[in-house]
């Protein structure tokens, strides 16, 4: 890695981070390229050297997020205990997200909003999204095989679980004080497991 390449990579990262901040704070449309450049202490020339358009930064941000999520998910699997315990421990995730990355959440909403209208964005997002579904379906499948979960359609079960999580996130995001989201999450997981687990 020559010093030049390193500098270039730093610039690129500064732009991405600045863009993330700005988009999160003011939204994609309300954020100007000039604003991003200023925040990143980078000239417009540099900006357009690294990205072909404002959209491109948005896409890059999306990809960056998807990669990070991929990593976090795979690290989530390494639990030694049985599947039901595993699922129960996942109950902290929504709460964690709501507590730690509230400011990032508006961007995720915009990812979705844009994905509807920009086929390119949708294409980029839908593939990982479906993979995530498979990931959870796999966990449930494992639970069935290990004999701790009753026989159920893993795909459907995964979708139920994710729907529940997504709903909590969206509402916790929109109205953080409208409910005790921690309790709600807990209650939801309890209900799911009470139905899925095999009682001895």
Partner DNA sequence: ACTATCGGGACCGCCCGTTAGT
Partner DNA sequence: ACTAACGGGCGGTCCCGATAGT
Which stretches of the chain bind a copy of itself, using CB under 8 A? 26-30, 106, 109-110, 112-113, 115-117, 125-126, 129-130, 133, 153, 155-157, 159-160, 162-168, 170-171, 173-175, 178-181, 183-184, 187-188, 191-192, 194-195
d(CA 58, CA 78): 31
Which of 17, 25, 27, 33 binds DNA (CB under 7 A)? It is 33
Q: Which does 115 bind (CB under 5 to 8 A by kind): a copy of itself, DNA, none?
A: a copy of itself
Cβ proximity to a copy of itself: between 14 and 148 the closer is 148
Which of 53, 89, 99, 163 binds DNA (CB under 7 A)? It is 53
Long-range contacts for 113-119 (Cβ within 8 Å, ≥24 apart)?
Answer: 114/28, 114/58, 118/55
Backbone angles phi, psi at 78, to 5 degrees: -70, 65
Under 8 Å CB-to-CB from 156, ≥6 apart: which residues? none
d(CA 75, CA 77): 5
Q: Given the rule CB under 7 A, which residues bind DNA?
A: 2-5, 7-8, 10-12, 31-35, 42-50, 52-55
């Amino acid at each position: 890695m020559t010093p030049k390449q390193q500098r270039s990579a730093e610039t690129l990262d500064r732009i991405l981070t600045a863009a993330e901040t700005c988009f999160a704070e003011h939204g994609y449309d309300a954020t100007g390229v000039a604003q991003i450049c200023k925040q990143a202490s980078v000239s417009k020339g540099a900006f357009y050297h690294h990205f072909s358009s404002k959209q491109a930064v948005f896409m890059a941000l999306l990809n960056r997020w998807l990669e990070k999520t991929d990593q976090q998910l795979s690290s989530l699997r390494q639990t030694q205990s049985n599947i039901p315990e595993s699922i129960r421990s996942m109950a902290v995730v929504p709460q964690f997200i709501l507590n730690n990355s509230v400011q990032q959440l508006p961007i995720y909403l915009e990812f979705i909003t844009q994905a509807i209208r920009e086929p390119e964005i949708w294409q980029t997002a839908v593939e990982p999204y479906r993979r995530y579904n498979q990931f959870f379906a796999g966990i449930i499948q494992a639970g069935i095989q290990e004999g701790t979960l009753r026989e159920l359609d893993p795909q459907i079960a995964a979708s139920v679980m994710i729907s529940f999580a997504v709903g909590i996130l969206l509402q916790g995001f929109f109205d953080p004080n409208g409910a005790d989201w921690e309790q709600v999450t807990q209650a939801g997981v309890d209900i799911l497991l009470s139905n899925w687990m095999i009682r001895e």
